[in-house]
Amino acid sequence: MDIEKCVLDLKEQMKIDKEFFWNNPEKGKCEFKTANYIKNRLQEMGYKDINNNIYETGIVVTLKGGKQSKGEGPCILFRSDMDAVVMDDTGRTKHACGHDAHMTILLSLAKILIDNKDKIKGTVKLVFQPDEEGDAGAKFMVENGVLENPKVDKAFAIHVWSEFKEDEIAIKEGTVMASSDPYDIIVYGKGGHAAMPEKCIDTIFIANKIGIALKEMAKIDVDIDEKIITGITAISGGKTNNVIPDIVHMKGICRTNNNEIRKETKTKIVEIVEKITKDMGGRAEVKFLVEYPVVVNSKEETKIVQNLAKNVVNKVITNYQTTTSEDFSYYLEKVPGCMIFVGCTKDEFYPQHSKNFKVGENPILIGTQMFLEIAKKYLM
C-alpha cells in the first residue's frame, strides 16, 4: 500500500468524518444531517461554489483550477453516494454498504484538491449523491444537470467491496455490475369458496404458475454476460383457509449483465405473466419500478486507472464483475469513466448489507489515494 503524505495527514479528520456518518445513517432522500455536515465541511475547506439544490439532499461542488484559462483543461467528476441501507420493515438504517466510507474519501479528496488548487489545470466536480439504495438518485441527478455547466468529460466512482481483501483493487473494462429491474405483479381473478374452485378464477394457482414460469426462464449456469436472474421474491393474497381471494400481489426482480438481454427479458416477463393469466381466465398488471442499467466501464479510462492502481496497491484484479447493481450506470451512459472496487475485508468476511459489515481505515486511505491518482493524471 503506497499512500502519499498528504493523504496520511488527513487520517484523524477521516476518523471524525467516518464516525459522524456511521453514527448518523439516513435513508435515501432523507440525508438531511449528512448533507448539512458535508456542506459545512466543504465551507470550512474554503469551497464557495456549492450547489445543494440539485436533487433532494444532493450536493455538487465545483472547483476551477488555478492554472485554468478559458476553455482549458477537462472537467472530471468524482462521485460518492450518501444514503444508508434500510435494514428491515421498521425503517432501521445502517451504513451496511460503505457509503460512509465513500463520503469520507470524497471529503478527503476535496481537502487535498483545494489545498493544491494552483496546480490544477481544469475543473473538478465533487458529487455527493442521495438515494443510491432506493430510487436510483443518479438518474435524477443526471436529469437535473449534474453533468452540465460545466460539461463533464469523465466520471469516476469508488465502491468499497467486501469480496476483496484490503490492499486489493478490482477494475474491469466493460460490464462490471448488472442491471436491476424490480417489478410488481397484480393478479386479478374471481374469488369464492375454496370448496367450489370450479366457480372461481383461482388467483393463488395463477400466481404459483407465474412464479414457476419466471424462475424457469432464468439463465444462471451460463456465461456471466448471458446470465439472467429473475423470479418472485414476495407474494401476498388471501387471509383465511377457505376463501380464494380476488387479488394476489407479487414482487420480483430481474438482473442481467447485458442491456440488450435486459430489454428482451423485461418484454418476456410481461408476455409470460399476461399469457398465463389470460389462459386461466384472469388478468394481470406488471409494473417495473426503479430501473438500474448495466454499469459499463469505458475502455480507455479503465486501462489508465488499472495502471494507476498498480501504484497504490499490491494486487489489481482486472476480470471481476458482479450481479449486484449500482446507479453510477446513469453517469457512465453519458460520459466515459469507471467504477473502481476497493477491497475492505480485513480478517473476517461480511458481505455488503450484512448487519456486521463495517469499513476500516485502510480502504479509506487507499480510496482517497486512488481518487488523487486520477486527479493527478487528468488535472495536474
Pairing relationship of beta strands 75-81 and 123-129 according to DSSP bridges: parallel
Same domain, 75 and 172: yes
Same domain, 303 and 283: no
Same domain, 26 and 158: yes
Q: What is the CATH number of the domain that holds 317?
A: 3.40.630.10
The whole-number pLDDT of residue 220 equals 85
Q: What is the mean pLDDT of the chain?
A: 96
Same domain, 342 and 278: no
CA–CA separation, 202 and 199 (whole Å): 9
The whole-number pLDDT of residue 280 equals 97
C-alpha cell at 147: 453533468
Q: Which of 245, 270, 288 is the endpoint of a domain?
A: 288
Q: Which of 288, 320, 347 is the endpoint of a domain?
A: 288
The whole-number pLDDT of residue 69 equals 54
Q: Which of 256, 288, 320 is the endpoint of a domain?
A: 288
**Residue-range definition of the domain harbouring residue 83:** 5-177+295-379
Question: Nearest CA to 154 among 340, 325, 298?
Answer: 298
Same domain, 124 and 213: no
Question: Nearest CA to 22 among 107, 119, 94?
Answer: 94
CA–CA separation, 116 and 318 (whole Å): 31
Same domain, 226 and 314: no
Q: What is the pTM of this model?
A: 0.94
pLDDT surpassing 80 at residue 120: yes
Asked if 244 and 238 touch (Cβ cutoff 8 Å), the reply is yes
Same domain, 243 and 117: no
- What is the number of domains present in the chain? 2
Same domain, 322 and 253: no
pLDDT surpassing 70 at residue 68: no
The whole-number pLDDT of residue 224 equals 83
Amino acid occupying residue 139:
K
For the segment 275-304, what is each residue's pLDDT rounded down to a tens digit?
Answer: 999 999 999 999 999 999 999 999 999 999
Same domain, 173 and 230: no
- Triad 113, 116, 119: Cα angle to 5°: 110
pLDDT surpassing 90 at residue 70: no
The whole-number pLDDT of residue 72 equals 76
pLDDT surpassing 70 at residue 320: yes
- Kindly indicate the confidence band of residue 157, based on its pLDDT and cuts at 50, 70 and 90: very high
Rg (CA), the chain: 23
Average pLDDT over residues 58-87: 89
Q: What is the CATH number of the domain that holds 218?
A: 3.30.70.360
For the segment 332-346, what is each residue's pLDDT rounded down to a tens digit?
Answer: 999 999 999 999 999
The whole-number pLDDT of residue 43 equals 98
The whole-number pLDDT of residue 223 equals 87
Please report, rounded to a whole number, the percentage of residues in the chain having pLDDT higher than 70: 99
CA–CA separation, 38 and 339 (whole Å): 22
CA–CA separation, 318 and 306 (whole Å): 8
Same domain, 28 and 120: yes
Same domain, 264 and 369: no
| 293: preceding bond cis by omega (within 30 degrees) | no
The whole-number pLDDT of residue 71 equals 54
Same domain, 197 and 268: yes
